[in-house]
Amino acid sequence: MKISLLEGNLQPATRSADIASSDIFLHMLAQTINPIIGGVGMAYTYEQLTKMTVVQLRHIADGIEHEDLKGHSTMHKEQLLPALCKALGVEAHIHHHVVGINKAEIKAQIRALKLERATAIGKKDYRQLEMIRDQIHRLKRKIRRATVED
């Protein structure tokens, strides 16, 4: 199938060569409006940007005028990603939150156990120390199991 990229639409072709799927993907990206920078692109999340190839990231950076993106065509992904996040106003990390448990209550228990651990170390009560460390470990694992991404 032949495709042309006239006026922001994918239309039957006036272009002689077939367009690769990556070109179609990049064209679709260029059609959306980014409210943050007021230009071409779309509002991205950090996770979406990390899953893109360096070629796709460079294409996004082409349409953005920002000081951090100068020389973006020669940047590697690990350099380009933070600069692009800064230019787009995207936080450069994935957000997590805890579901189904009271995290504050568990953290208070951990703090209390850490105080007990300090006294057990002072008394050289190694059996008690091992039990306290196991309890702390179980509580921390409970928080990690209940953590989900935004």
Q: Residue 2: phi, psi to the nearest 5?
A: -95, 140
Rounded to two decimals, the pTM is 0.48
> Do 47 and 105 reside in the same domain of the chain?
no
Tell me: do 68 and 134 sit in the same domain: no
Claim to verify: residue 82 and residue 116 sit in the same structural domain = no
Q: Are residues 83 and 100 in the same domain?
A: no
Axis-axis angle for helices 54-62, 21-31 (nearest 10): 40
* 67 lies in the same domain as 116: no
pLDDT per residue as tens digits for the range 48-61: 898 999 999 999 89
> What is the pLDDT, as a whole number, of residue 34?
41
Q: Which residues of 82-91 are buried (b: 16+ CB within 10 A; e: fewer)?
A: ebbbebbebe
Residues 40 and 80 in one domain: yes
State the pLDDT at residue 7.
44
pLDDT at 110: 98
Range of the domain at 109: 96-149
Q: Could you say which of 88, 108, 135 is where a domain stops?
A: 88
What pLDDT is attached to residue 28?
54
Q: Do residue 18 and residue 44 come from a single domain? A: yes
Joined tokens for residue 147: 């953590």
pLDDT of residue 12: 46
In a 3-state reduction of DSSP, which class is residue 39?
Answer: strand
**Domain end marker among 69, 88, 107:** 88
Residue percentage of the chain with pLDDT more than 70: 71
pLDDT at residue 25 in the model: 57
Strand partners, 40: 33
| pLDDT tens series, the chain, 150 aa | 444 444 444 444 444 444 455 555 555 555 443 434 444 446 888 888 989 999 999 998 988 888 888 888 889 999 999 999 888 888 877 778 889 999 999 999 999 999 999 999 999 999 999 999 999 999 999 999 999 876
Pair (102, 78) in one structural domain: no
Domain end among 41, 57, 88: 88
Q: Looking at the structure, tell me whether residues 68 and 20 fall in a common domain.
A: yes
pLDDT digits (tens, 9 = 90+) for 32-51: 434 344 444 468 888 889 89
